[in-house]
Amino acid sequence: MLNISENKLNQTVDLSHLKSYQIVAQKVRYKKFYKILRYSFFALILFTFLPWTQNIRSRGFVTTLRPEQRPQTVQSAIAGRVERWFVQEGDFVKKGDTIMFISEIKDDYFDPKLLERTASQVEAKSQSVGSYEDKIVALDRQISALTQERILKLEQASNKLMQAKLKVQTDSIDLEAAKIQRNIAQRQYDRVLQLQNEGLKAVIDVEDKNIKLQENLAKLVSQENKLLASRNEVINAQIEISSIDASYNEKISKASSEKFTAISAKFEASGQVDKLKNQFANYEIRTDLHYIRAPQDGYINKAIQKGIGETFKEGSDIVNIMPSNVDLAVETFVNPMDLPLLHKGEKVRIIFDGWPAIVFSGWPNMSFGTYGGVIIAVERFISPNGKYRVLIAPDSEDNPWPEQIRAGSGSETLALLENVPIWYEIWRHINGFPANYYQPDTTKNTEK
């Protein structure tokens, strides 16, 4: 069997009639197998030199391009109780359509005529402000009248003072004249007395001159009294001026004080009016918040609050709305090792869940059922899942994405990198090396 012995059994014994010998002894079949194996080996070697496109595959899901186009929850700004529903799940609503009507659960807003009564308070306070304004005008007129009257009174007192001063001057002149007359009378009396002592004048002449002297002395004393009285009149006139000035200053100060008090009360009333107006506006807005309205066009996905009479707090979720007009995008996550290989503006291929596709990773040109996308954003901070988030928008130069795709469905992305031989890609995977550092060619874009 092993052809070790020099005695060949097949040469001495005829074995050709045995069926097993016929099967084993056919050397032609082995030659064909060796030839096929040899050609396959050479073909495999040639296959390893074929080009292979390196790529980064990652899982993600469909989302929207703009934040306001993503599913949102409508919340209530006030606490309330469900009174009536105007929509049901699946309904299409336009911006401003009423979704629900709620009622108040806080006792501060139970009054059904709260707006009317607040408006009445605003009107009353506004009239109070008008009254204070009229009072201020009246006090201004009073102050003006008192000021004018004080000017006239002071002018009158000044004239009286001037008259008193002139009278003092006149009485002073009269006093000087009386002094001169007294001196003259005194000299005449002395002269007559001397002549009488010499025997040249009679006693009666002396007595006449003495009488005249006494009359002049009386006139002098009387004139001094008049001068003192005139000076007192001057002092009284000065005191009257001071009294008039002080009196009118007091009256004007009192009126000014009342005016400032009225101004302060007016400002306080104006502040209360503004406060009441603010309160009225808040009540009006709060009344409008009893109607929960759609913030934009969309579909009612889910009603979070249920039933009639159910109460909730402010900020509670009411319904979930999916906007109708959306720009779809794909949100995918890549490993930190692959992040330097992705760049903004780079094109990728996308496979959507539920859409048949035939994908050849190394030969993207032979893939079918994939759609084009362009990277528009690469997250700069790692996500909680330990990967980096990448946002992909539709490629305007490729086939449009299917209209039936909805936000939230799954997707798989292929970011195409450099072309390398297959043997290099196999060697890289065996050694666990990352893909070649890839930098997109931006020279064409720069020239444009």
Q: Indicate if 210 and 295 belong to the same structural domain.
A: no
Beta carbons within 10 angstroms of residue 369's beta carbon: 12
Beta carbons within 8 Å of 424's beta carbon, 6+ residues apart:
52
Does residue 275 register a pLDDT over 50?
Answer: yes
Query: Is the same domain home to 153 and 75?
Result: no
pLDDT of residue 67: 84
Strand partners, 98: 293
Residue-level pLDDT at 369: 62
Cα 271 vs. chain centroid, distance in angstroms? 24
Residues 174 and 284 in one domain: yes
- Residues 166 and 133 both lie in one domain: yes
Of all helices (H) and strands (E), which one includes residue 265? helix 203-288
pLDDT at 448 over 50: no
Strands (E) located in 288-385: 291-293, 298-303, 311-312, 317-323, 328-334, 347-352, 371-378
Which residues, including other chains, have CB under 8 Å from residue 421's CB and lie 6 or more apart? 48, 49, 50, 51, 52
Residue 337 DSSP label = G
- Total domains present in the chain: 4
Nearest of 392, 396, 427, 429 to residue 411 by alpha carbon: 392
Tokens describing residue 436: 């070649």
Domain boundary among 265, 288, 311: 288
Q: Buried b / exposed e across 392-407, counting CB within 10 Å, b at 16+?
A: bbbbeeeeebeeebeb
CA nearest neighbour of 340 among 302, 388, 406: 388
CB neighbour list of residue 12: distance below 8 Å, 6 or more residues apart: none
Quote helix, strand, coil % in the chain, to nearest 5: 50, 20, 30
CB of 129 closer than 8 Å to CB of 264: no
The residue with tokens 């709260």 is 114
Residue 390 falls inside a structural domain: yes
Higher pLDDT, 53 or 388: 388
Model pLDDT for residues 427-446, shown as the tens digit of each residue: 766 766 566 555 555 444 44
The Cα–Cα gap between 335 and 58 comes to 9
Which CATH number fits the domain that encloses residue 299?
A: 2.40.50.100
Distance CA 290, CA 16 (A): 104
In a domain, 109, yes or no: no
Q: Does residue 303 fall inside a structural domain?
A: yes
Query: Would you state the structure tokens that stand for residue 439, as one six-digit string?
Result: 């930098």
Whether residue 252 is found in the same domain as residue 159: yes
152 & 18 share domain: no
The 10s digit of each residue's pLDDT in 214-263 is 888 888 888 889 888 888 988 998 898 889 889 889 999 999 999 999 99
Per residue in 78-90, pLDDT (tens digit) is: 999 999 999 988 8
The per-residue pLDDT for 342 is 77
Determine contact, residues 70/298, Cβ cutoff 8 Å.
no
Say if residues 396 and 345 touch (Cβ distance below 8 Å): no
pTM of this prediction? 0.57
| Domain at 140, CATH number | 1.10.287.620
Residue 269 and residue 146 share a domain: yes
Structural domain contains residue 121: yes
Confidence band of 292 (pLDDT split at 50, 70, 90):
very high
Tokens of 345: 């503006």
The count of other CB atoms within 10 Å of the CB of residue 111 is 13
pLDDT at 27: 54
pLDDT at site 401 = 86
Same domain for 28 and 161? no
Q: How many CA atoms lie within 13 A of 220 on its CB side?
A: 17
Domain that includes residue 18, residue range: 1-48
Q: What is the pLDDT of residues 96-132, one digit of tens each?
A: 999 999 999 888 888 888 888 888 988 998 888 889 8
Task: Give residue-wise pLDDT tens across range 397-407.
Answer: 888 888 888 88
d(CA 304, CA 99): 12
Rounded to a whole number of angstroms, the CA Rg of the chain reads 61
218 lies in the same domain as 241? yes
The verdict on 210 and 342 lying in the same domain is no
pLDDT recorded at residue 405:
82
Q: Which residues contact 50 (CB under 8 A, 6 or more apart)?
A: 421, 422
Q: Are residues 209 and 153 in the same domain?
A: yes
Q: Is 365 left (phi over 0), alpha (psi -120 to 50) or beta?
A: alpha
Q: Are residues 282 and 333 in the same domain?
A: no
